[in-house]
Amino acid sequence: MSSPERVALVTGASRGIGADIALRLARDGLAVVVNFASGRDGAERVVEQIEQGGGRAIPVAGDVRDTAAVQAMFGMAEEHFGGLDVIVNNAGIMHLAPIGEMDDSTFDQMVAVNLRGTFNLLREASRRLRRGGRIINTSSSVTRLRQPNYGPYAATKAAVEALTAVLAKELRGREITVNAIAPGPTATELFMKGKSPELVANIAKLAPLERLGEPKDISSVVSWLVGPDGAWVNGQTIFVNGGVI
């Protein structure tokens, strides 16, 4: 890498999987830019935990849908840490409804965050990420499960997988890898919200391992892709779901 200290930007890192990824990368020795759109308190807690563990981190507000905000995130990373080596596109939203019943506003919101937000980060990373960097996008196992009510959400994530494969080829010659992870059901606060214990138990049994994923199951795969052992994996979508598909 071009710097003794590698630097990661994790979007949507104030809670859930994003927070766990930020904490894991900090334990791996990276300085971390902890991005959030609205959860400042959560992002500051993540930064505090990283600093208590001896790492370096800063919280950075920014809406991934906003091109100028994304450019500012990169600017903050460069100002504080000298540059960026790792991008983790974690920010995303999910709304469920049958295709015939989803309204324009909800559809547009998911496209704006999940697809346009990822695109904004990828475009900026293609211009500013240091040589030898790593880009990790977040898809979802629903791109293969294709359950009813998940259509528009699954479509945004399938588009992320396409961007992943194309950008890996476009960055030829810079030693930058571009991959996506596709989690299955994962035990986060957002996942549990509104679900009965019975429903959660039924979902947990979908995987042959008969449990929900944990945020650490996802962050460990990100850690591997970012680390030296993941250097030969490029342009791939890795499904992290305990065998659901």
Catalytic positions: 153
Do the beta carbons of residue 141 and residue 237 sit within 8 Å? no
The alpha carbons of the chain give a radius of gyration, in whole angstroms, of 17
Two tokens, residue 227: 């680390």
Return the half-sphere exposure (C-beta side, CA atoms, 13 A cut-off) of residue 82. Answer: 10
Contacts of 67 (CB under 8 A, 6+ apart): 120
Contacts of 204 (CB under 8 A, 6+ apart): 185, 210, 211, 212
Closest CA to 191 of 219, 159, 215: 215
| Rounded Cα–Cα distance for residues 99 and 161 (Å) | 21
